[in-house]
A and B are shown apart, each in its own frame.
Chain A
Amino acid sequence: KAGVTQTPRYLIKTRGQQVTLSCSPISGHRSVSWYQQTPGQGLQFLFEYFSETQRNKGNFPGRFSGRQFSNSRSEMNVSTLELGDSALYLCASSLSVLGLRAFFGQGTRLTVV
């Protein structure tokens, strides 16, 4: 059974640009969550989707947005990139809305220059 797949693995963008990251959950998983990981702040929750609906959103500015498609695949978008957005962005999927037993992908390493 394939795990959580995130694309691309690495990305370099310039300040002010926007970026879209993709996540394909484990087959059959309907809940997808996104986290930002930085050395200073650790792992911080961005948002969670279940059946194409955003259920929860973390304390991030409106430049961070996401969506989930009918096949459970999810994308997150960051507009007007800032240097501080450089981070590892992790996607996690789980079977149910409860988000328990969340399985993480390898992440997308975003560098903003």
Chain B
Amino acid sequence: QQQVKQSPQSLIVQKGGISIINCAYENTAFDYFPWYQQFPGKGPALLIAIRPDVSEKKEGRFTISFNKSAKQFSLHIMDSQPGDSATYFCAASGQGGSEKLVFGKGTKLTVNP
């Protein structure tokens, strides 16, 4: 059972454009929603995270939008740069007292120059 569904699987954006990646979760016990960025040959790096008590969090060019009623959250990358080309994973934790991270399947982002 996939508890966190992520879309799209791949995304191609022009430099300067906005990249949008969406995730949906099923378990209402989740209470922490991070996004990770992974470059080839590297481990995932924490990008930004949100709690369900806020609807939006912004850090630089990266913004998380959170819709608790719809059980959806999304990552927006403004002014996308070629250096942003990587695989992005959404995740959720806090299920039933466990702090393990449940990951989406990932989105491969390509930003063309």
Footprint of A on B, CB under 8 Å?
32, 34, 36, 41-46, 49, 89, 91, 93, 98-106
Contacts and interface: CB of A to CB of B under 8 A. Distances in A.
Contact of B99 (A35, A90, A98, A103): A98
Interface stretch (A11-19, A40-48, A70-78, A79-87): A40-48
B4 to A, nearest CB: 10
Interface in A15-39: 31, 33, 35
Contacts of A98: 99
Contacts, number: 61
Interface residues of A, number: 25
A107 B100 contact: no
B101 A103 contact: no
Q: Could you tell me the dominant secondary structure of chain A's interface residues?
A: strand
A3 to B, nearest CB: 9
Contacts of B91: 43
The 10 closest A-B pairs by CB, nearest first: A99-B99, A104-B43, A43-B103, A45-B100, A42-B105, A106-B43, A104-B44, A56-B98, A107-B43, A98-B99
Contacts of A45: 100-102
B99 A104 contact: no
Contacts of A35: 101, 103
A99 B101 contact: yes
Contacts of B36: 104
B103 A100 contact: no
A45 B4 CA distance: 13
Contact of B44 (A58, A90, A101): A90
